Structure 1
Amino acid sequence: MGAQRPAQGLHRRDRAGPSGKLRWAGAAWIDGTLARPQQSNGDDALSDAELWGIPADIVRRPQRGIWELCLPAVQAFTRVSSLFRTPGAFGGACGLDYGGVRDGLEMSGVTITPELWAQIQCVEAGAIEAVMRKLQ
């Protein structure tokens, strides 16, 4: 197996559905890969198909990136990403400063609905998971 690609694991079952995509986006934001185009060091599906003699034209290629229905939450998160707090040398909270986020989104003209807020929290959860992995 080669080095892990930024979007590797995007289609595993633990990342299924919109909340999984949103968590992936949060982690990609922490890793610095959200704004960069996806780079690939090879197509694993095509390599596997070739190994097993499966015609390449029937191999389903995974869709990378953010689903359109997740885009408003990711855009809202990135608008207030400067309010993301990470633990300092002596510990502390990790995540968005919720009071500042409300003000920042309102000043950006974003209407915060309960659904959008839940999606923003999914992006935040992915970012927190990525920060914690880096700290280990």
Structure 2
Amino acid sequence: MKWAGRAWATGAAGPAEDSDGALADARRWGLDLSIEDLRPESDDGLWPEHLAAFEAFLEVASQWRIIPRQAAAPYYAGLDFGAAEAGLRLAGVTVTPELWAQVRVIESAARAALNGV
């Protein structure tokens, strides 16, 4: 589930790009790789039992508490729980304690990625 949060925050679930210089590193070490070699074998990084939590997270993914900072990137504190609860309820998502705990795991990984941690 942490993968889902990082993938959402960084766009890693999208098409592979060589934004981190992996191809240049491979060439430096004598490896002949292409951008296709960087693509995961499957773009489904979620187990089926975690899909409901990720879908719930996506329903409220715009409900972040963001703290502006002078001369620094904004700090993503986490989801606004009141807004998240309303968003999930209005979307018809039945939130159980287990589902909410899974959403929090995704939120934690997304927060770390958004804050560059």
* TM-score, length of structure 1 as denominator length: 0.60
Corresponding position of 1:124: 107
Offset of residue 111 of structure 1: 0.5
Q: Distance in 2 between matches of 1:105 and 1:64?
A: 23
Corresponding position of 2:20: none
Runs of 5+ consecutive residues of structure 1 not aligned to the other structure? 1-21, 44-60
Offset of residue 27 of structure 1: 1.0
Corresponding position of 1:73: 53
Choose from 52, 67, 87 the match for 2:67: 87
| Alignment pair present for 1:103 and 2:86 | yes
Query: By percentage of residues, which structure has more strand?
Result: 2
> How many percent identity over aligned positions?
37
Q: Distance in 2 between matches of 1:25 and 1:118?
A: 14
Offset of residue 87 of structure 1: 3.1
| Alignment pair present for 1:42 and 2:42 | no
CA contact (8 A) 2:64 2:76 kept: no
Give the alignment's Cα RMSD to 1 decimal: 2.5
Runs of 5+ consecutive residues of structure 2 not aligned to the other structure? 18-34
Q: Distance in 1 between matches of 2:12 and 2:97?
A: 28
Q: State the secondary structure of the residue aligned to 2:62.
A: helix
CA contact (8 A) 1:86 1:131 kept: no
Q: Which has the higher contact order (CA 8 A, sep 6+)?
A: 2
Corresponding position of 2:12: 33
